[in-house]
Chain A
């Protein structure tokens, strides 16, 4: 009997020590959720590696950003939050913030100022620092094409060309979601860039967008993963593919594919960090480090996404491996940016559910 009574308290103490030990030990391991592929690699080289070298921390990359919101909610409901920092789209950040899944941030107190002393709220792209969100990059949804698919004197360069089956025959790969496609359809149909979301809020506008998509529906392969469009272009399955500009850059520069980007009517948006509930103390230093001027400028050496702060943008130089000038490949580069529109997160937060269902019903018809 004696042995038994002793075992129980010991086990309890052991359990307590174990749980304490885990929370102490975890300070050295950061579980960071991101998109994987070339993008995570750029983060790894621009900020994870310098940080690990500086502090001895270990950083674990988790490729779950595509379903980050689902993960954050599930972890919160289970009461066991294992992610420390999450790379997420601003629209998802708004929802996570509203649901109390992530920490509200005091940007000027938390983040580092620019080298010349400019406060973060003045240095980051205007309006991009929302309540719970710190942007790191500007990326863009664009259409890429295979230059070998068309004769040299008839290369596409406008969004209208994507919807022009007569002059540019062949299959197109588009993302299996209404987002971007509806905007592009309207703009290709002649709606001015600044009116796109106003038109989309009306029933006639939605019908007009779907009617325009109807004209190419039979020539579309719908993709779901970011890795698919460069693959489909390389296989010759499609002649046009909508994609994230960094993926096309990676395929063209690092893999030598004959891809070009149509910058006309690019839909750009931001991407960046949110801090899951209760993790702010643990990641505050890393958050400041990974979003300082130098780190964001460094990231642009590895991938063609524009830094989200002005003081970094001026430092963008050349590609780390091939040495090519990165500026012309940035979404925010002057000529590329001329007809760009920003994705309207508020609009998609409100109408996303309905338009997704409508889009799926349209696909099934």
Chain B
């Protein structure tokens, strides 16, 4: 019973258990301090932006903060007839206040995403509400623009008065709310995102496949030739890897365009007529070629590092036991390279899905990726909510792919070096 009393102690009389715990704790703290800078960096530069993006994709502050009175009055509205005087009075007050504070632009943009023409309706009405001194407000507002008698507009304001919205996610997959608040498909002439998601995935798959097809033999050669030759080969792999992305992409433009080097050679050799020059760029072909070239090193390097560790005598042993070269390769060598294939493929696939400069430059109209639309909505249309929704979906899909991959191949099997 008196184990604690009789327990082992260190030289200065502290029980060994306590001393051990102290040392452990000190080690843990030291380890944590060493990791802390990276952790801090990750939280600031990675976790917080992602959380912000996720928030932005559902955030909907414009209507309920800038048209707050109108929204409050709309709570009792039946939703089937033009709202009554009280709502219009609230609207006039909101618009007057917004015009003075110069913050109606955001709410005008927000509503214009849903119904074209809302921007000018709101800014125009706001400019003229200054002249409305007293009621009846309904008459005065309808005098400014009779569009305010449109019930769909009021339903839209009421629907988007919630501080959170699904509208951006719906828009990102070609759906929308109709005027009754039901989810319906966008009209066909506005559908684009589903198709782009699908294209982004199959083209990234195709690029991964092409990289594997081209990279595997090269990695094999690199791993199995004497050092003095393989070093030279390695430089040939690394040199383009170190060259600027833009340089490599624009070089492909020079090579592949209709008046470009490759077409000139074909015409010069008489393989093609002057009029039937191939269009190999500004379309899917351009994206496939340029991106395969750019991402190839990311496939070769992990493959090489795995192949380098496979002892050459395994194959010799298989041969000496009677296997033909192909069988020896298939049954012995190939299975050993699967971790490298896995690492290269997941690396190339995830990089490919996120590329946007190369598709933008050489993709034309049918070779661009969904990422080009994220950039477009960030920089040009300024619909940051939609950009965030598309980016979030892309993130979820990448995570899903990773989980599936983990299930099928096992992330533990991935070897990068």
Q: Enumerate chain A interface residues (CB-CB to B < 8 A).
A: 66-67, 69-70, 73, 95-100, 104, 171, 176, 221-222, 224, 235-237, 346, 349-354, 356-358, 360-364
Q: Which of A67, A73, A349 contacts B119 (CB 8 A)?
A: A349
A-B contact pairs, 24 of them (CB 8 A): A70-B378, A95-B382, A99-B102, A99-B103, A100-B101, A100-B105, A104-B102, A176-B365, A221-B282, A221-B364, A224-B360, A235-B259, A350-B116, A350-B118, A353-B112, A353-B113, A353-B383, A358-B189, A361-B189, A361-B191, A364-B192, A364-B196, A364-B365, A364-B366
Q: Is B190 an interface position by the 8 A CB rule?
A: yes
Other contacts beyond A237-B259, A358-B189, A364-B365: 13, CB < 8 A: A96-B105, A97-B102, A98-B108, A98-B123, A99-B102, A99-B106, A100-B105, A104-B102, A221-B282, A350-B119, A352-B381, A353-B112, A361-B190
- Tell whether, in the assembled complex, residue A236 and residue B259 are in contact, meaning their CB atoms are under 8 Å apart: yes
Number of interchain pairs (Cβ within 8 Å)? 82
Q: Is B413 an interface position by the 8 A CB rule?
A: no
B243-255 near A? 1/0 per residue, CB < 8 Å: 0000000000000
Task: Return chain A residues, CB-CB under 8 Å to B360.
Answer: 224
- Tell whether, in the assembled complex, residue A70 and residue B366 are in contact, meaning their CB atoms are under 8 Å apart: no
Count B interface residues, CB 8 Å: 37
Q: Which of A67, A70, A350 contacts B112 (CB 8 A)?
A: A350
Q: Which of A98, A236, A354, A361 contacts B116 (CB 8 A)?
A: A354
Closest residue of chain B to A222 (Cβ to Cβ) is B365
How many Å lie between the Cα of A95 and that of B381 in the bound state? 11
List the 9 closest pairs (A to B, CB-CB), nearest first: A98-B105, A99-B105, A100-B102, A363-B365, A361-B192, A354-B116, A67-B379, A236-B259, A70-B379
How many Å lie between the Cα of A73 and that of B364 in the bound state? 29
Shortest Cβ gap from A222 to chain B (Å): 6
Shortest Cβ gap from A244 to chain B (Å): 17
Q: Which of B117, B119, B257, B382 contacts A70 (CB 8 A)?
A: B382
How many Å lie between the Cα of A45 and that of B153 in the bound state? 50
How many Å lie between the Cα of A168 and that of B389 in the bound state? 44
B78-119 near A? 1/0 per residue, CB < 8 Å: 000000000000000000000001111110110011001111
Main secondary structure of the interface of B (DSSP, over half): helix
How many Å lie between the Cα of A99 and that of B103 in the bound state? 5
Shortest Cβ gap from B219 to chain A (Å): 36
Q: Is B258 an interface position by the 8 A CB rule?
A: yes
Task: Return chain B residues, CB-CB under 8 Å to A99.
Answer: 102-103, 105-106, 109
How many Å lie between the Cα of A356 and that of B377 in the bound state? 11
How many Å lie between the Cα of A237 and that of B258 in the bound state? 6
Shortest Cβ gap from A28 to chain B (Å): 30
- Tell whether, in the assembled complex, residue A100 and residue B103 are in contact, meaning their CB atoms are under 8 Å apart: yes
Closest residue of chain A to B103 (Cβ to Cβ) is A100
Q: Is B4 an interface position by the 8 A CB rule?
A: no
Q: Is B380 an interface position by the 8 A CB rule?
A: yes
Task: Return chain A residues, CB-CB under 8 Å to B225.
Answer: none
How many Å lie between the Cα of A357 and that of B176 in the bound state? 14
| Max count, chain B CB within 10 A of own CB: residue among A99, A176, A224 | A99
Task: Return chain A residues, CB-CB under 8 Å to B191.
Answer: 361
Q: Is B120 an interface position by the 8 A CB rule?
A: yes
Task: Return chain A residues, CB-CB under 8 Å to B123.
Answer: 98
How many Å lie between the Cα of A349 and that of B121 in the bound state? 11
Task: Return chain B residues, CB-CB under 8 Å to A354.
Answer: 116, 190
How many Å lie between the Cα of A100 and that of B103 in the bound state? 6
Closest residue of chain B to A69 (Cβ to Cβ) is B382
Q: Is B195 an interface position by the 8 A CB rule?
A: yes
How many Å lie between the Cα of A137 and that of B134 in the bound state? 43
Shortest Cβ gap from A77 to chain B (Å): 10
- Tell whether, in the assembled complex, residue B364 and residue A351 are in contact, meaning their CB atoms are under 8 Å apart: no
Closest residue of chain B to A361 (Cβ to Cβ) is B192
- Tell whether, in the assembled complex, residue B109 and residue A95 are in contact, meaning their CB atoms are under 8 Å apart: yes
Task: Return chain B residues, CB-CB under 8 Å to A104.
Answer: 102
Chain B 333-369 interface residues, beta-carbon cutoff 8 Å to A: 360, 364-366
- Tell whether, in the assembled complex, residue B365 and residue A95 are in contact, meaning their CB atoms are under 8 Å apart: no
How many Å lie between the Cα of A358 and that of B190 in the bound state? 5
Task: Return chain B residues, CB-CB under 8 Å to A237.
Answer: 257-259
Task: Return chain B residues, CB-CB under 8 Å to A352.
Answer: 381
How many Å lie between the Cα of A237 and that of B254 in the bound state? 11
Shortest Cβ gap from B407 to chain A (Å): 33
Task: Return chain B residues, CB-CB under 8 Å to A97.
Answer: 102, 105
Chain B 118-137 interface residues, beta-carbon cutoff 8 Å to A: 118-120, 123
Task: Return chain B residues, CB-CB under 8 Å to A224.
Answer: 360
Closest residue of chain A to B118 (Cβ to Cβ) is A350
Task: Return chain B residues, CB-CB under 8 Å to A73.
Answer: 382
Task: Return chain A residues, CB-CB under 8 Å to B190.
Answer: 354, 357-358, 361
- Tell whether, in the assembled complex, residue A356 and residue B109 are in contact, meaning their CB atoms are under 8 Å apart: no
Shortest Cβ gap from B99 to chain A (Å): 9
Closest residue of chain B to A95 (Cβ to Cβ) is B105
How many Å lie between the Cα of A176 and that of B373 in the bound state? 13
Q: Which of B103, B108, B195 contacts A364 (CB 8 A)?
A: B195
Chain B 382-401 interface residues, beta-carbon cutoff 8 Å to A: 382-383
How many Å lie between the Cα of A99 and that of B106 in the bound state? 6
Shortest Cβ gap from B259 to chain A (Å): 5
Given A98-B102, A222-B365, A350-B112, A357-B192 contact (CB < 8 Å) = yes
- Tell whether, in the assembled complex, residue A235 and residue B257 are in contact, meaning their CB atoms are under 8 Å apart: yes
Closest residue of chain B to A92 (Cβ to Cβ) is B382
Closest residue of chain B to A218 (Cβ to Cβ) is B279
Closest residue of chain B to A362 (Cβ to Cβ) is B189
How many Å lie between the Cα of A96 and that of B116 in the bound state? 18
- Tell whether, in the assembled complex, residue B116 and residue A351 are in contact, meaning their CB atoms are under 8 Å apart: yes
How many Å lie between the Cα of A66 and that of B380 in the bound state? 8
- Tell whether, in the assembled complex, residue B101 and residue A353 are in contact, meaning their CB atoms are under 8 Å apart: no
Task: Return chain B residues, CB-CB under 8 Å to A235.
Answer: 257, 259
Closest residue of chain B to A217 (Cβ to Cβ) is B365
Chain B 253-270 interface residues, beta-carbon cutoff 8 Å to A: 257-259
Shortest Cβ gap from A158 to chain B (Å): 25
Task: Return chain B residues, CB-CB under 8 Å to A171.
Answer: 258
Shortest Cβ gap from A351 to chain B (Å): 5
How many Å lie between the Cα of A70 and that of B382 in the bound state? 6
Shortest Cβ gap from B287 to chain A (Å): 14
Closest residue of chain B to A72 (Cβ to Cβ) is B382
Shortest Cβ gap from A69 to chain B (Å): 6
B24-35 near A? 1/0 per residue, CB < 8 Å: 000000000000
How many Å lie between the Cα of A99 and that of B191 in the bound state? 29
